[in-house]
Structure 1
Amino acid sequence: MKGFITILLLVISNTFMTLAWYGHLKFSEWKWFHKLGLVAIVLISWGIALFEYAFQVPANRMGFKGNGGPFSLLQLKVIQEVITLVVFAVFTLVFFKTETFRYNHLIAFALLILAVYFMFKK
């Protein structure tokens, strides 16, 4: 159960992270947002990223073996990176219609799944 909750928290965290890091590129299409300066955009992104940390820190604490969780530090990191790329791919396809998903992206995701497999292999 801790493993599932950890992964769920990481998905939520990475959703906020992706929105904070790349959302402003889409938000710039809004008339009021386009008028903002870089400092305002950074502050808005930082505010969104606060929610990322609100989920990331508990996920890592709960999931880490040293705190009674099921994952080693290296496993947590690999899981987090795969989640980051999956969330980013979905975000890109949903919000940025100019991007396309090609076969080389599928191959890259397959290699990521292999990375997770080998990270958990004893």
Structure 2
Amino acid sequence: MMFWSTWPVSLQTVALLLASNVFMTFAWYGHLRNMSAAPWYAAALVSWVIALFEYLLQVPANRIGHTQFSVGQLKIMQEVITLTVFVPFAVFYLKEPFKLDYLWAALCMVGAVYFIFRSG
């Protein structure tokens, strides 16, 4: 039995979604820095290998999370975590400038969280 199986379902779900999003972000965007000279199909193959690890975390996250959350809640949670992982990745790893648009997008996500979680 894994040590995190004693954690609350919400914490297990968020931890697995967070870890899966790190892999997903590298799979989708990491090649822009590391493989920019490589052919697109080489980047796609590397991305698929990385994405396998994302799926190995994402699927259990959704299965565990669905015992407590609706599918809509899981999806919005996923999107919030995606933005939370993506912004630092873009700024620090890809060296993109920080834009206030990230903040506005995050505020829109706060609204999405409110609406999807308000009815419990």
TM-score, structure 2 length as denominator? 0.87
Distance in 2 between the 1:23 and 1:96 partners?
8
Residue aligned with 1:110, SS: helix
Gaps of at least 5 residues in structure 1 are none
Amino acid at match of 2:79: E
How big is each residue's C-alpha offset from its partner over 1:64-87, in whole Å with a ceiling of 9 and x where there is no partner? 0xxxx2100100011001111111
Q: Deviations over 1:3-35 (max 9, x none)?
A: 111011001101100100000001036xxxx3x
Task: State the one-letter code of the partner of 2:107.
Answer: A
* Counterpart for residue 77 of structure 2: 79
Higher mean C-alpha displacement, 47-56 vs 104-113:
104-113
* 1:117 aligned residue: 114
Q: Which amino acid aligns with 2:80?
A: V
Unaligned runs of 5+ in 2: 1-7
SS in 1 for 2:47: helix
Counterpart-to-counterpart distance in 1, 2:43 and 2:114: 38
Q: Secondary structure in 2 aligned to 1:70?
A: coil
Aligned equivalent of 1:108: 105
* Number of corresponding residues: 112
Matches within 5 A, 1:1-122: 1-28=8-35, 34=37, 36-64=38-66, 69-97=67-95, 99-122=96-119
How far is the alpha carbon of 1:103 from its aligned partner?
2.5
Q: Which runs of 4+ in 1 moved over 4 A?
A: none
Q: Report SS of the residue matched to 1:18.
A: helix
Between the aligned residues of both structures, percent identity stands at 49
TM-score normalized by structure 1? Answer: 0.85
Q: What displacement does 1:40 show?
A: 1.9
